Structure 1
């Protein structure tokens, strides 16, 4: 309001100053008079305007004051309401907390009372237990005294101390437990064999019955028959040059002795031996025998032999229904025809194993073609052209991997003698069929010394047991008969003894097939009538 008065006063002063200035600079009195009049009018108008402005400013100031008072009052009432609400809420919470505190105090008081009751009960129970312990202690002392008197009477009656009686009882229980455990083990093993081997025996028997294979025994020497002994000199040549040229060209030794009309061709490599035999046959038929002709005939025969080997391999894979085999593997299969293993022709053995594998895989619901392929190639490592330090199983696996065979075949070939871990299901099939083919009676020749050594070892193993009087290996080592002393071995112990001997043979010896152990106990009562 003071500011408005200042502004109005300043405006009026400015207006009067302007009028006075105008009057001061007027040249005529009329104009001066007129100017005064105009100034008076303007002053009067200005005073009226000032009054109006002053009233308006006063009115607006009053209105503004009323508005501010109303706003302040409303804000005050709102804050008062909020404070009142907050006060009521806090008051309610305080009342609720106070109620909870009272309830908690009541609960704690009740719990203190309950604890006091339990403590009193525990004290009474403790007192009762102490009384019972005292009674137990007294009874224990009486019992120990009675036990000592009883043990003393028993020792006096039995003539044994307590420790001796305990030791005897423990030994008796140990023997009884051992016999019962062995009986249970034997019963479980018999039951397991009946259940587990039932289907296996069926599959193996069906496989063997359905498989037929020829058997060929190859030697390290070949015999070449002559029409007359006169041809021996022609083969030897002047100063032996013909026979030396033939031996150098073939790598085979020719033995010319006193045997009539016969020359012996000796060598460990059957392929070279066959090349020498065919070359000698052509030279004798042609009649022209000299070093140059010998080299020519041997080279031609060797080439034809390679073709013949390839033809044998192709005929074999066609016969077995195997396709997609690498040419180098086919050639190695053909070379098997001229190799033998323990007197069993290698190609016949591999074909037999392949057929066994296919039959067994089909019976078990597996892939017969894959199994047959693995069976044919399982001994491929025995016919390499270059010597290797690896065993034939590992070398065969390496060759199969080199020529792109399936990983299952590679594993089966490498694992059929347990030199690597079996990771495919056909691997044990190949191993089993290889053993079946090799263990078949008459399939292989066994070295006499190793056979006799195995028989003697088997008999000595049985003789090492207490109570064994004699032991005999019969049926070519397929059965062991053990004769025991009737005074030392009873019927129960004889059953256990046969089981123990069979287990020891299985753990310590290597043998084809299986061995039957028979324990014989005989009690003879002899008397004489005089």
Structure 2
């Protein structure tokens, strides 16, 4: 009996312990599940919030881009309208001038017809006078012709002289007006902006600390750069800038490019300076060659000698009375071509 009771007690205790353990495990698992659910809900809420914020930011950015695009479109459309208006005005002026020239041509034709009618009328008068003289004087036809011819010659000579003087004055006036019109049209079609002349170039610096590096120990860097380029470098109190001074614009351009490359590279010493100056010189020579070739194509005179093309390229860096010499040369070539075209001369030779 005691053994049975012990066994029953053991079985009951085991069952009770298992039930308690199950309840405890269920409580722990439940808490973990609830914690996991809370964490998932928090992550979902955060993700939804970030999603909404991202959508709002994207919409704001899209609206901003759309606004900028619409603004640019309006500006370009306005500029296009202004440009079309200028072209329309020029076309209208050219049409008016063409109408005026046509009217002048009609006037000249009318005057030629008037002169021809006058000549025919004189011939009729001459014939009538011959007939009248023959009836009145009973002289021979040959004698009458001589008298009539002399009278008519005197009258016609005076009329012709007067008419020639009038035509000469009129033609001179029309020629002057036509010449002024040709020059005016050519100048309008060749109108360009004027570029200011300068003997200095300014290179911006990232900081004033760069001035000391450009000068170098005991000024060796600045001397090396000046000797290599043939210009003067002015480093003064101007904040974050260095001035390149020189009367040769090609040398100033070489110095400017070399200086910008040195600042960007950061390694500033005499050997590096010589290397950068050589690179800048090659770039400028390439630019000069390209500008010369572009000028010949723009003017329409290809096939020039290489030396002449290089000389034209050098004019890109030259200025005279505030105007770039290369642009001025191109304008003069266009102007000469237009005048030659209007006068019926050889356009290529004029350019």
Q: TM-score when scaled to structure 2?
A: 0.50
Q: Residue 234 of structure 1 corresponds to which residue in structure 2?
A: 213
SS at match of 2:304: coil
User: Alignment length, in residue pairs?
Assistant: 183
Q: Unmatched 5+ residue regions in structure 2?
A: 1-168
Counterpart Cα distance in 1 of 2:197 and 2:257: 17
Counterpart Cα distance in 2 of 1:309 and 1:359: 27
Question: Displacement, 1:195?
Answer: 4.5
Could you report, residue by residue, the CA deviation over 1:361-389 in whole angstroms, capped at 9, with x for unpaired residues? Answer: 100100111111xxxxxxxxxxxxxxxxx
1:318 aligns with 2:297: yes
Q: Residue 440 of structure 1 corresponds to which residue in structure 2?
A: none
Given that residues 197 and 321 in structure 2 are in contact (C-alpha distance below 8 angstroms), is that contact kept between their aligned partners in structure 1? no
Could you report, residue by residue, the CA deviation over 1:232-277 in whole angstroms, capped at 9, with x for unpaired residues? Answer: 0000001110000000000000001111111110001100000000
Question: Displacement, 1:191?
Answer: 8.0
- Select which of 242, 259, 263 maps to 2:242: 263
Query: Compared with structure 1, are the counterparts of its residues 192 and 259 closer, same or farther at alpha carbon in structure 2 (3 Å cutoff)?
Result: farther
Counterpart Cα distance in 2 of 1:350 and 1:329: 13
- Select which of 203, 222, 231 maps to 2:182: 203
Counterpart Cα distance in 2 of 1:367 and 1:191: 28
Question: Displacement, 1:287?
Answer: 0.3
Q: Residue 26 of structure 2 corresponds to which residue in structure 1?
A: none
Q: Residue 164 of structure 1 corresponds to which residue in structure 2?
A: none
Counterpart Cα distance in 2 of 1:192 and 1:259: 65
Query: Compared with structure 1, are the counterparts of its residues 236 and 191 closer, same or farther at alpha carbon in structure 2 (3 Å cutoff)?
Result: farther
Question: Displacement, 1:194?
Answer: 3.4
Counterpart Cα distance in 2 of 1:255 and 1:318: 39
Q: Residue 105 of structure 1 corresponds to which residue in structure 2?
A: none
Counterpart Cα distance in 2 of 1:287 and 1:332: 35
Q: Residue 312 of structure 2 corresponds to which residue in structure 1?
A: 333
Counterpart Cα distance in 2 of 1:328 and 1:364: 32
Q: Unmatched 5+ residue regions in structure 1?
A: 1-189, 373-530
Counterpart Cα distance in 1 of 2:183 and 2:321: 23
Counterpart Cα distance in 2 of 1:273 and 1:283: 15
Could you report, residue by residue, the CA deviation over 1:113-161 in whole angstroms, capped at 9, with x for unpaired residues? Answer: xxxxxxxxxxxxxxxxxxxxxxxxxxxxxxxxxxxxxxxxxxxxxxxxx
Counterpart Cα distance in 1 of 2:308 and 2:221: 36
- Select which of 234, 250, 255 maps to 1:276: 255
Could you report, residue by residue, the CA deviation over 1:312-348 in whole angstroms, capped at 9, with x for unpaired residues? Answer: 1111111222112000100111110000011110011
SS at match of 2:268: coil
- Select which of 303, 327, 330 maps to 1:348: 327
1:248 aligns with 2:227: yes
Given that residues 354 and 371 in structure 1 are in contact (C-alpha distance below 8 angstroms), is that contact kept between their aligned partners in structure 2? yes
Q: Residue 191 of structure 2 corresponds to which residue in structure 1?
A: 212
How big is the alpha-carbon RMSD for the aligned residues of Structure 1 and Structure 2?
Answer: 1.6
Question: Displacement, 1:212?
Answer: 3.4
Given that residues 278 and 301 in structure 1 are in contact (C-alpha distance below 8 angstroms), is that contact kept between their aligned partners in structure 2? yes
- Select which of 272, 277, 283 maps to 1:298: 277
Given that residues 194 and 322 in structure 2 are in contact (C-alpha distance below 8 angstroms), is that contact kept between their aligned partners in structure 1? no
User: More helix by proportion, 1 or 2?
Assistant: 2
Q: Residue 187 of structure 1 corresponds to which residue in structure 2?
A: none
Q: Residue 77 of structure 2 corresponds to which residue in structure 1?
A: none
Question: Displacement, 1:223?
Answer: 0.8
